[in-house]
Structure 1
């Protein structure tokens, strides 16, 4: 998924999602660019984080029993490409799993997107046995954008 970039549209989006959550018994996974920072640790540079900015996302996550699955690798996959003093980096991509998803697939793990400047992966690489690869963010155009999910 890709949440709206405009804050007003994004907050409306989370409120609508919170009003229409799937039943608790439904295992589901949500991943992509949520365009939301949820703590100061997910942001470097620029204005300080304000907890009120992610209130609607947190409300949706609570109502839907979603759990942030974390990440491995560079958390700051977005940056404003400015000079050092004006440089801002943020963690906007995330993976969320419902409590029922994690109950059904307890070993789910995420591997964050590679930095676009990292050319160590130039071709598609099959996942290890017991894992599946789920491409996001137009990964069919850019071989460096993907998530790996482990499951059992």
Structure 2
């Protein structure tokens, strides 16, 4: 929208990611994780770690990763480390060979049920990945903060 002398609405700056940093996506092989991976790569990210305790399980996951590696020359690593485990989360942060440009915590366990119908075990399983996952990521990125620029 413009008036005669100046734009009335400023254009948003384009989002861009560094090719010299590494981006970690927990839950990276899920539907949203793969779409986020593609979005990051299309905007300059070239080094990514996709965390998934189950690893690649479908042809679609393999095809998407192969496409991004082939056409964008992205380096995509798959990590099966469990971020709810402190030692494994620390290992994940330590294996980063480049400064960490960002962490996207998408890991989740779906237990579709009404809250009142969840057992304690189901509730703990669902909450564990979010709470302990982010707690450990926060702890080890602070300890190894020199890896984050």
Does the alignment reach a TM-score above 0.5?
no
Structure with greater helix share of residues: 2
Rg: which structure is higher? 2
What TM-score do the two structures reach when normalised by structure 2?
Answer: 0.32
Structure with greater strand share of residues: 1
